[in-house]
Amino acid sequence: MSDEYLFSGLKVLDVGTWIAGPVAATILADFGADVIKVEIPGDGDQYRAISALPGFPDADSNYMWQMDGRNKRSLALNLKTPEGMAVLHKLIAECDVYVTNHPYPMREALGLCYEDIRAIKPDVIYASLTAYGEQGPDRNREGFDLVAYWARTGLMDLVRDPSGSPAQAIPGMGDHPSAVTLYAGIVTALLKKERTGEGSFVHTSLLANGLWSASCIAQAGFAGGSYDSYREVKASTRFGTSLYRTLDNRWLQFNMVREEKDLIRLFETMGLGDLIRDDRFSTPEARAEHGDELVHIVRDVIAIHTSDEWLARFAAAGVNGNRVGIVEETVNDEMIYLNKMVVAPVDGSTEMPWVINHPIKVSNVPQIGPTRAPDVGENSADILAELGYSEEQIAELRSKHVI
């Protein structure tokens, strides 16, 4: 690895599965760290297979794995064997950061908790991602983000139409921001280590990140507040928070129409200029009282034209109306490319023209472009050779199905 990157020379072990823990290591790899992903021999990380499951978007590449597994090396290692654990202990002795989201019963059975790792590498930064936290009765429970992040924190209940059922989260919706949190903790610990020489136990959870995402509303409960009026308002029909279906079956929102002069301009653009002189809609209080009537009137008018036609009219009038996007449109969003929210792979074997980037941007800190995510155990022999294993020893480990 070149010395030109911020984390060049940093050795990281990614001993986890799926998204939230391993993607923190991916971000470190993007900034130059040498990340070794330790996987089960054979199928490896189960996350490798998810793109091909029924119900997910079809593509010619393993797009989820190529996105999140990039810039790492893979070591297929059977940790249920003494030889496999011996290899891992050698890697731990040389690593700077150990990242894991394995359930605690598994860590305890294998002797891979923080105190175990610190006994091998006293100044290690041990980064732990759990579903529900490091303490308490649910410490050992497994949980994906759609359960621990989305459902348990109330986000699933809060983010829905008042008349609708709660909706399931999409894959990785809580995992990816939780990975950024874990990365932030690791970087904070690296700064502490630089100043003191001490390692750290870094941890976060899906539950903590879901609560943080819901915090503007959730904090009220911890302040002794009541949610009665909030839920009453949410259940009511209001102009500014409602959505409006167009002729082409798209949806418009007017959340950014906040001042009275903007509202008047919006109504005039829709041919409803007289509404503001109607006693039912002439003041914010009246509009709230007669929200059902106002929304019904606006919905009938919006339904007459396509979303493109409405957006053109709004732009000409200086009205800040917005169309609810669909995911297919992101590939044509100029802002995404100009701001490097997606980046091109730097090798020709990734089989995707663009890879979604993590959201961390620092001036004068270059980032490695995405390289192909490794096959299971693709780098096992090289990694073992770096540890001092001979070709004969590597062959023996392979014959015993340790690697």
Strand partners, 342: 356
pLDDT in tens, 320-340: 999 999 999 999 999 999 999
Residue partners of 354: CB distance under 8 A and separation at least 6: 331, 342, 343, 344
* Tens of pLDDT, residues 290-305: 999 999 999 999 999 9
Residue 83 confidence (pLDDT)? 97
Q: How confident is the model at residue 348 (pLDDT cuts 50, 70, 90)?
A: confident
Higher pLDDT, 111 or 164: 111
pLDDT recorded at residue 3: 72
**Which pLDDT band, with edges at 50, 70 and 90, does 2 fall under?**
low
Above 70 in pLDDT, residue 382? Answer: yes
User: Long-range contacts of range 139-145, CB-CB < 8 Å, 24 or more positions apart?
Assistant: 139/104, 140/103, 140/104, 140/105, 141/103, 142/103, 143/206, 144/18, 144/175, 144/206, 145/19, 145/20, 145/169, 145/172, 145/173, 145/174, 145/175, 145/178, 145/206, 145/210
Percentage of residues of the chain with pLDDT beyond 90 = 94
Would you state the pLDDT for residue 161? 82
- Flag whether pLDDT at 160 surpasses 90: no
> How high is the pLDDT of residue 177?
97
Average of per-residue pLDDT across 232-248 = 92
pLDDT digits (tens, 9 = 90+) for 207-232: 999 999 999 999 999 999 999 999 98
- Count CA atoms within 13 Å of residue 186 on its CB side: 33
Q: What band does 56 get if pLDDT is binned at 50, 70 and 90? A: very high
Q: What is the DSSP string of 308-375?
A: HHHHHHHHHHT---EEPP-GGGGGG-HHHHHTTSEE--SSTTS--S-EEPPS---TT---PPP-PPPP
pLDDT of residue 109: 96
The predicted pLDDT at position 66 comes to: 96
Name the pLDDT band for 1 (thresholds 50, 70, 90).
Answer: very low
Distance CA 388, CA 298 (A): 73
The per-residue pLDDT for range 96-144, each reduced to its tens digit, is 999 999 999 999 999 999 999 999 999 999 999 999 999 999 999 999 9
pLDDT digits 0-9 by tens, 259-295: 999 999 999 999 999 999 999 999 999 999 999 999 9
Domains of the chain from N-terminus onward? 11-215+373-399 (3.40.50.10540), 237-328 (3.30.1540.10)
Of 137, 150, 129, the closest CA to residue 212 belongs to: 150
Strand pairing category for 243-245 and 200-205: unpaired
The DSSP letter of residue 403 is: -
